[in-house]
Amino acid sequence: MTKILKRVYLGLILLFLYVPIIVLIVQSFNAGKSRAKWEGFSFTWYGQLFNDPSIMNALWITVSIAVLAALFSAVLGTLAAIGIHAMRRRPQAVMLTLNNIPMTMPDIVTGISLMLLFIFTKVERGYVTMLLAHITFDVPYVILSVMPKLQQMNKNTYEAALDLGATPVYALFHVILPEVMPGVITGAMLAFTLSLDDFTISYFTTSPLVQNLSTLIYSQARRGIKPTMNALSALMFLVLLALLLVVNRRTDSEKA
């Protein structure tokens, strides 16, 4: 009886979470504008979606920032993880705690603090500030992904490479990086996923002239939801779902 109740409870939670998304995806193929009446199957709103210049511009900004943020955060996060791993136990624990704070802190706190920083330094908010903000909140996740691979690595391998005549830079690229590369790739994919659907931090660190998809959807939703937003949301959900499945699969394979 307990197992049945647990399954029913889990099923209700899943229904509560995913039924609205399923309805949204179904409505994206509705030929009519009404969300209360089905008027036939159609790809009309998907066609209008890709012909809308504002949405295509927001899509370009979203994808380009996500890719750049993933690349920069992967490099910075990997170097930071290597540096933290080389520390003694107490400084390493302090640095890992500091690294975990941004991940547990609400996004609105990070967004407002970065906005105040840009205002204080008189940096005009736009594409660059949004990119810097995304890199800032992506780096801790990369560090968290790379650290386990460094801890699994044999510490004597790097020292043996140096004893055999390798320079520190050569040993970094040919000894350490091959060992931690699965963690780097997982961290970069996670950073790309987080950047792709971020709203709060993007909202506070950009200007109305530079919008990604999340801020564009928010601004248009205040004037009423258009059917093209259903199509856009459906595509975003499917892309993010695919990326998360890939990340989880890589994580499971690394644990195995």
| Domains recognised in the chain with CATH numbers | 54-255 (1.10.3720.10)
The predicted-structure confidence for 161-207, as pLDDT tens digits, reads as follows 877 788 888 888 888 888 888 889 889 988 998 898 888 899 999 88
3-state SS class at 153: coil
The answer, yes or no, to whether residue 42 has pLDDT greater than 90, is: no
Instruction: Please report the DSSP string for 23-38 in residue order.
Output: HHHHHTTBSSS-SSS-
Q: Taking each helix axis as running N to C, give the angle between helix 107-120 and helix 127-152, from 0 to 180 degrees, rounded to the nearest 10.
A: 130
Provide the pLDDT for residue 74. 94
**Rounded to whole angstroms, how far apart are CA atoms 56 and 66?**
15
Provide the pLDDT for residue 211. 87
The predicted-structure confidence for 212-254, as pLDDT tens digits, reads as follows 888 888 887 777 777 888 888 888 888 878 877 877 776 666 5
Mean pLDDT across the stretch 85-111? 87
The answer, yes or no, to whether residue 68 has pLDDT greater than 90, is: yes
- Take residue 96 and report the two structure tokens written for it: 């890992």
- Window from 31-35, 42-46, 73-77, 142-146 with minimum mean pLDDT: 31-35
Nearest to 141 by CA among 214, 193, 106, 83: 193
Length of the chain: 256
Q: Cα 232 to chain center, whole Å?
A: 18
8 Å CB contact between 111 and 203: yes
Cβ count within 10 A of residue 183? 26
The answer, yes or no, to whether residue 84 has pLDDT greater than 70, is: yes
